[in-house]
Amino acid sequence: MIGIDDKKEVNLAVKTRSYYDRLITTEYLDTVSLLPSGYFDLLLTIQKDTLLELPDILKVGPIVFTESLKNTFKYLSHDNSNLFLDMMTASAYIKALNEGKQLSNENLHDIIAHFKNNRLSSYILHQSEINKRNQKKNNEETFFLPFDKKNEDVLSTILEKHKGKVVFVDFWATWCGPCLAASPAMEKVKKSFENRDDITFLYLTDESSDRNRFYELTKVLMGEHYYLYKNQFATIMKKYNFDYIPSYIVFDKNGNMSQRSTSPDNLEETAKTWIQKALND
């Protein structure tokens, strides 16, 4: 309609900050505006507009970020209950999370302290927790018969991959009741060391485990999973004098065996003690 199709020269208006003058009307300050999805699309579009030069909220915090918004939307009421400013600030955190960024402890403190509406802060914190869990799951790996069947010295190959880390090895099977019963205790152990990047939790099983059940459980049991050939699994069990499962081995950061046991008492506390010792060795 403006002649671009005809290759005519057209002087398009240059977009300036004045574009945002009176763009946000009073209807965007009412909670009813939250109902249509277009509201959130608008917020995200504004967030992405480099013209506004909005700062990184994770670096400057919500107060500085909100002040930058007030400089652009000067005509809006700047009281403490301004829905648009609150939603823009909240969406800045959500945008950062959607980009795969993690919230620091300082960010979490800022969120709790800044928002008067605790539903907003709770939603951001909830999304942050989901991101953490998903990121951990994405970092986990499942290997199904990854080695040549003739190669029986597979554990040393796996340990080499994690050189410089403490490695906790869990020997288990999908049909093993005591193995599955021990899982809640091990999840607590992993939870207590979740902020450390120098520990790896390995799960080893073999062809005796049901394949479908194996894949289902690997989505729940956080760690690095290996489904080995029976001869490979048996070789490892024999090497470390294990006759039954669940059995456990802890290797220190130099790849040396630090602890080994079958069905130890008080698994949670025992495993924590083993890992702490290996970390200090």
Residue 237: give its domain's CATH number: 3.40.30.10
On whether both 151 and 128 belong to a single domain, the answer is no
Same domain, 132 and 146: no
**Residue ranges in the chain assigned as alpha helix (H):** 38-48, 57-72, 83-98, 105-114, 118-139, 154-161, 177-181, 183-192, 211-218, 230-239, 267-280
Is 177 in the same domain as 267?
A: yes
Structure tokens at 87: 């939603």
Could you read off the pLDDT tens digit of each residue along the chain, which spans 281 residues? 555 565 556 666 677 878 787 777 776 666 666 656 677 778 888 888 888 889 999 999 999 999 998 888 888 766 656 888 888 999 899 888 888 788 888 898 899 999 888 888 888 988 888 777 666 555 568 898 999 999 988 999 999 999 999 999 999 999 999 999 999 999 999 999 988 889 999 999 999 999 888 988 888 888 999 999 999 999 999 999 999 999 999 999 999 999 999 999 999 999 999 999 999 87
Give the model's pLDDT for residue 21.
79
String of b and e for 104-129 (b: at least 16 CB within 10 Å)? eeebeebbeebbeeeebbebbbeebe
In this prediction, residue 135 carries a pLDDT of 61
- Same domain for 242 and 271? yes
Interval 207-254: pLDDT, tens: 999 988 898 888 888 899 999 999 999 999 999 999 999 999 999 999
Of 137, 157, 177, which residue constitutes the final position of a domain? 137
Range of the domain at 115: 4-137
Residue 161 sits at φ, ψ, to 5 deg, of: -65, -30
pTM, to two decimals: 0.54
Residues 156, 132, single domain; the answer is no
Number of folded domains that form the chain: 2
Same structural domain for residues 248 and 149? yes
Do residue 158 and residue 274 come from a single domain? yes
CA atoms of 136 and 214, how far apart (whole Å): 19
What is the predicted pLDDT for the residue at 35? 58
